[in-house]
Structure 1
Amino acid sequence: MAAQPEGTPCWADAMFGDVEAAKSFYGEVLGWTFGDPSPEFGDYSEASVDGKAVAAVVPPMPGQEAASQWRLYFASPDAAATAARIREHGGEVLVEPTRIGDLGAMCVAREPSGAVFGVWEAGTHQGFQSTGTPGAYCWAEVYTREPGAADDFLSAVFGYHVQRMEDDRIDYRMFDLGSEPVLGRMRMTDDFPSEAPSHINVYFTVPDCDAAVAAATAHGGVLRHGPMDSPFGRLAALTDPQGAVFTVIDVTAAKGERPTTTEVA
């Protein structure tokens, strides 16, 4: 499989204090199965659906224990060059570009409004082997209280074209690389807890949103919003038992017309 265009979301992983509990939870909710952990890479455990890699979980490194959260990675042909652009445009590189054997190279960064993300330079590991299918990643949104800073940064670093959603109820942007949108950006309103930081919310596809919510809450997850119908599918926002936020969506259950968009100069 060819490497993804630069700026394309290409992988997602999360650190969990109790990795076995995370495997059990996501196995029940998203149907994930897991291969043997890789001790040479910090016991990194890849999740699969129908034999195709869709995400990974990993225990925290000693001294790096923190609240669990999903991290989205963006494709790059050169992680070091992307790290330089991140700094140039006001971001912070938290983990310097690092070679991960023959799998590829990665770095971790924070955009100016505070959302943390990863950069992945593919080697033998190209990233998601499936997207938009049950159990797999399908979308992500940057949630921020500083939308202008986030928009300028993302456009400068990854060369996105920006579309504004024509909806007076929300401040929402979509970023594309010349064809289909690859990322959304939502301005956080006062409805969000004041302590909630800027973050990236990942969406995973499910065959039945309500069934996924029932499975999640039955196994210790917390329903944050929904289930609700939308022009993009029936969706619900959840928090897993260890605090990681994610959204499930049944893309086959879309209802209503999609809002129009206007290109932002």
Structure 2
Amino acid sequence: MLRKIDCVMLKVTEIEKAAAYYETVFGLKRLWQDEHSVGMGMPETDAEMVLHNHADLPKDLNVHYLVDDVLKAVENLSTQGCVIRAQPFDIAIGKCAVIEDPFGNVLAILDMTKGART
């Protein structure tokens, strides 16, 4: 079900300042940007580091896993002992949801049902 790590999200207060810092200090490349986030690329992976200031996302929810279909995954996981902490919601590329496994670990899952960013 989990296909890969799609992104690691880091909450920042100043998007532009943080993006410039990560470009200069860590050598990352801007891939895309919107009002609340910027996707930063690394040379040896297609996983992104997303710098964001989304008020509704907790600071400690960092790793997002790609699945084929969030709605189906949530339906399946809810019958397998997972608690749905955030029901599926729309994001730019598809849907996202937050689950908690029976061991207390919180995972964010997302799909790309609307297509990849260009």
TM-score in terms of structure 2 length? 0.71
Query: What CA distance in whole angstroms lies between the structure 1 residues aligned with 2:24 and 2:105?
Result: 28
Change (3 A) 1:120 1:36: closer
Q: Amino acid of the residue matched to residue 27 of structure 1?
A: E
* Bigger RCO (CA 8 Å, 6+ sep): 2
Q: Quote the residue 1:7 is aligned against.
A: 2
Residue type at the aligned position of 1:56: V
**Correspondent of 1:47 among 12, 37, 40:** 40
Q: Distance in 2 between matches of 1:48 and 1:81?
A: 29
Residues 81 and 65 (structure 1), Cα distance of their counterparts in 2 relative to 1, 3 Å cut: closer
* Distance in 1 between residues matched to 2:6 and 2:97, nearest whole Å: 13
Residues 65-110 of structure 1: CA deviation (Å, up to 9, x unaligned): 75x3352222222211111222222222222112334x22211222
* RMSD over equivalenced CA pairs, Å: 2.9
1:64-79 mapped onto 2 (5 Å cutoff):
64=56, 66=58, 68-69=59-60, 71-79=62-70
2:91 aligns with 100
2:78 alignment counterpart: 87
Q: How far 1:16 moved relative to its partner?
A: 2.3
Deviations 1:147-187 (A, max 9, x none): xxxxxxxxxxxxxxxxxxxxxxxxxxxxxxxxxxxxxxxxx
Larger radius of gyration: 1
**Does structure 2 conserve the Cα–Cα contact (< 8 Å) formed by 1:38 and 1:45?**
yes
Q: Which has the higher strand share?
A: 2
Out of 52, 59, 72, which is 1:58 matched to?
52
In structure 2, C-alpha distance between the alignment counterparts of 1:75 and 1:18, rounded to whole Å: 27
Whole-angstrom distance in 1 between the partners of 2:82 and 2:17: 34
After superposition, where does 1:1-265 map in structure 2 within 5 Å? 6-12=1-7, 13-34=9-30, 37-39=33-35, 43-49=36-42, 54-61=48-55, 64=56, 66=58, 68-69=59-60, 71-101=62-92, 103-123=93-113, 124-125=115-116
Q: TM-score, normalised by structure 1?
A: 0.36
Q: Which residue number corresponds to residue 214 of structure 1?
A: none
User: Given residue 106 of structure 2, which amino acid in structure 1 is its aligned partner?
Assistant: V
Q: Tell me: CA distance 1:109–1:29, structure 2 relative to 1, closer, same or farther (3 Å).
A: farther
Given that 1:11 and 1:54 are in contact with CA atoms closer than 8 Å, whether structure 2 keeps it comes out as yes
Match of 2:12, as an amino acid? Answer: F
Q: Which runs of 5+ in 2 are unaligned?
A: none
Q: In structure 1, what is the Cα distance between the partners aligned to 2:31 and 2:66?
A: 24
* In structure 1, distance between residues paired with 2:60 and 2:26: 17
Any gaps of 5 or more consecutive residues in structure 1? 1-5, 127-265
Distance 1:19 1:110, change over 3 A: farther
Whole-Å separation in 2 of the counterparts to 1:122 and 1:36:
15
